[in-house]
Chain A
Amino acid sequence: MTPRSEFFAGVRAELPLIVGVAPFGFIYGALAAQLGLPASLAQAMSLVIFGGASQFIAAPLIVAGTPALILVLTVFAVNLRHALYSASLAPYLEKLSVGWKMLLAYLLTDEAYAVAIAHLQKQTDGPNRHWFLFGAESTLWIFWQLSTALGIFIGAQTPSEWALDFVLPLTFIGLVIPMLRTRAFIACALAAAVGGVIAFGLPYKLGYIVAAMAAIALGLTLEMRANKT
């Protein structure tokens, strides 16, 4: 396949997922505007970070005046799962130039990875395969920026009685619950949630980071024990 046909195959494969992603971008923009984040900053987060869940969590933390280090650590932790996608895609991209690798890494998200890895695993050879990934990634990028901008514009005009800030915990409930496939994951989530409430009073919003680290250790321990038996 030519670069052009690979690219548009990637665009077409990504389009159905946009139906799910665009409302999410819209809600992020509306929430950020509602929280009082300046429009330029809310949009810059979509451009610079380009990671849905991490932007959702960063917006209220910024408004609460959270120290920079905690904020960067939180965004880092929430986006750490992308390391798995990076590891998974790496063998398919090894022959590319550093410039290509950096571009494809900047644009790498859950939804583009899901579409691209299915295609890459099917089509074992082909010098233009990365154009498929680029097509999927850039489609998602464009719709994320547009939906964010629309959300910021409209969200600034919604009344506060709508309690749009509640979208945040709801989003995370929707993301986390399907991840709970084994007992170790369920225990990890429960420990983190309860720990987050108990440690809430710690300074610098450190509470949930401490709770999360303890819960990760618990999950890992339980999983290793389950694998042994």
Chain B
Amino acid sequence: MESSLELWLTIIACGIATFLIRFSFIAIHGRMTMPAWFTRALTFVPVAVLSAFTLPEILIQNGGVNLSPFNARLLAGIVAGFVAWRTKNVLATIVVGMLILWGLHFFVH
């Protein structure tokens, strides 16, 4: 893959968008307020976007939904979810999930 001009401009646009979010209220403080439902909706955004992205990453393989118990990613994902719930620690979740995935691959091959 080559790093085209369009790709660089896209990254810069992503950076500007992120900056504007962070600058938003600091910039307009005292001049404008947001409706309450809007600030409530903001708290749901990361949960929704990350969840909608994650489950397809785990379930969809070779263009189809793989719900079989032999889907190593599904099993590792379920255990990782449990670890995330108990520890609230992202790194512990990653480490346990990867170890399970590698372990399952090791036994299959």
User: Does A associate with B in a complex?
Assistant: yes
Interchain CA distance A38-B1 in the complex, whole Å: 8
Q: How far is the CA of A200 from the CA of B7 in the complex (A)?
A: 24
Does A104 count as interface, using CB distance less than 8 angstroms?
Answer: yes
**B108 contacts partner chain A, Cβ-Cβ < 8 Å:** no
Beyond A82-B18, A106-B19, is A177–B84 a contact (Cβ under 8 Å)? yes
Kindly identify, within residues 11 to 60 of chain B, every residue whose CB is under 8 Å from any CB belonging to chain A.
11-15, 17-19, 21-27, 29-30, 34, 37, 39-60
Looking at chain B's contact residues, the main secondary structure is helix
Chain B contacts for A118, CB-based, 8 A: none
Query: Is A197 engaged at the interface, CB distance under 8 Å to the other chain?
Result: yes
If A82-B22, A208-B52 touch, does A178 touch B17 (CB 8 Å cutoff)? Answer: no
Closest chain B CB from A81 CB (angstroms): 5
- Indicate if the CB atoms of B58 and A41 lie closer than 8 Å: no
Report the count of interface residues on B (CB-CB < 8 A).
70
Given the complex, which residues of B lie within 8 Å of A71, measured CB to CB? 10, 14
Q: Which of A8-16, A50-58, A142-150 contacts B (4 or more CB under 8 A)?
A: A50-58
Q: Which residues of B contact A (CB under 8 A)?
A: 1-3, 6-15, 17-19, 21-27, 29-30, 34, 37, 39-60, 65, 73, 76-77, 80-81, 83-85, 88-94, 97-98, 101-102, 105
